[in-house]
Amino acid sequence: MKRVAFYTLGCKMNFHETAYMEERFKEAGYKIVPFSEEADVYVINTCTVTSVADSKSRKAIRRAKSRNPNALVVVTGCYSEVYPEEVEKVKEADFITGNVEKFNIVDLVERRLKGELPRTYVKGVWKEKIFYPLTIRHYEGKSRAFLKVQQGCELFCTYCIIPKARGRMVSLPPEEVLRQVKELVDSGYKEIVLTGTHLGAYGREFPGWSLARLVEEIVKLPLYRLRLSSVEPIEFTPHLIDVVTGSEKVASHFHIPLQSGSRTVLERMKRRYSPEDYVKVVEEILKRRPDSCIGTDVMVGFPGETEEEFKETLELVESLPFGYLHVFPYSKRKGTVAAKLKDSVPPEVKKERASVLREIGKEKSLEYRRRFLGRELPAVVLSEVGGGKSTALTDNYIRVILDRRFEPGKVVKVRLKEVGQKREENYGEVVS
């Protein structure tokens, strides 16, 4: 039996796509082994959101080849999609593909092994407007299924290379979304997570449809829980806020990217909303569902970011009860508008600003989780963690280690007994 190993960098979409590729390889008779073990095929699912991600991708490619010099090292994902010429310089890369190729990866790998394809085979995401499906049916046992309903982004924020990596915006037809949700529910999945490159843009090509209407229709089905992945603040329309706060079936967890709390930095980023707009969205959601977990992304060191602008970001972040922060320093991306701006923020200043925000993020996360000590929270069991225990995910996105073992997918009520410094260090007992 051939063995295949995966290494994934970057966003949740990348991790979901790796899970999708794993399923396809399993169906083809491959055995999935850890990346640390010897394999016949290594698949590196790359990220290119920062130069650090590029560097990590190259290191992973070299590590794979060192583990088995005779293996086929496959490089896919955003780095190879946007900068294939850079990946070609890494001699350990045997087969270079882009994001489109992930959805036919097994066939392409087999053809490359037979010598039927060249070393670099990247069609390009902007050459066609086709929706590539992503439904993961065995992710985290029978507990959660990830359903991609939208792909691509055309916002072109000045710092972001993702539109070039993910292509045109296109949505899965609503009737197909509803059919797949029903099928997943009938198969026993308790939580369905809607994903997309730019999820809030769902349905723009279908008259009368939007993400709000899609959610409205999905919650009419007999599912237990629906969770949304990241949604831009400008896409939290009054209709969407009404829908996601008005149904108990929608998880009280919303990831809303901020990027900066400074109006002038947001304008240079071409983010299309103000700090006041952002605060208004968060406050409206929390007014209606006070226990909601609000997560966000924050960038520091954007070209020209002054101390005063950074202070504005600090003040906004400190003013809101975030459940967690993802903080990262600005990284110049060739091919973006911001790459032409003078990067006047020294690396050490970026590092310091990121450190300050990450510490605030840790404090915010701890403060948020402590609010629920002693409370009973609905949760879905995800998996076993050894020692006769399991882990579960609450409605408001708190991972809890349970006091005993349960089957993945079981719906339980958990009393939170202890929270730790890290987001995953939470312990609880099942009360029903």
Q: Is 90 exceeded by the pLDDT of residue 265?
A: yes
pLDDT of residue 142: 63
Q: Over range 166-194, report the average pLDDT.
A: 92
What are the contacts of 151-157 at 24+ separation with CB within 8 A? 151/196, 151/197, 152/125, 152/197, 152/198, 153/197, 153/198, 153/201, 154/198, 155/198, 155/232, 155/270, 155/272, 156/270, 156/337, 157/259, 157/269, 157/270, 157/271
Q: Which pLDDT band, with edges at 50, 70 and 90, does 134 fall under?
A: confident
Which range of 95-104, 356-365, 376-385, 399-408 scores highest in mean pLDDT? It is 356-365
C-alpha span between 272 and 233 (Å, rounded): 9
Instruction: Please give the structure tokens belonging to residue 397.
Output: 């996105």
Burial class of residue 304 (count of CB atoms within 10 Å of its CB; 0-12, 13-18, 19+): middle
Of 116, 113, 43, the C-alpha closest to 73 is: 43
Instruction: Please give the structure tokens belonging to residue 257.
Output: 């990217």
Q: Is 70 exceeded by the pLDDT of residue 137?
A: no
| CB-side neighbour CA atoms (13 Å) of 193 | 24
Of 404, 429, 432, 401, the C-alpha closest to 417 is: 429
pLDDT tens per residue, range 283-341:
999 999 999 999 999 999 999 999 999 999 999 999 999 999 999 999 988 899 999 99
Span of 206-210, 354-358, 384-388, 404-408 with lowest mean pLDDT: 384-388
C-alpha span between 214 and 218 (Å, rounded): 6
Q: Over range 362-378, report the average pLDDT.
A: 97
CATH numbers and ranges of domains, the chain: 3-121 (3.40.50.12160), 135-370 (3.80.30.20), 376-430 (2.40.50.140)
Strands (E), 155-267: 170-171, 191-196, 225-228, 253-255
Pairing of strands 399-402, 389-394: antiparallel
Predicted TM-score (pTM) of this structure: 0.89
Q: Over range 230-255, report the average pLDDT.
A: 97
Strands (E), 81-181: 95-97, 120-121, 135-136, 144-151, 170-171
Q: Is 60 exceeded by the pLDDT of residue 236?
A: yes
pLDDT tens per residue, range 85-95:
999 999 999 99
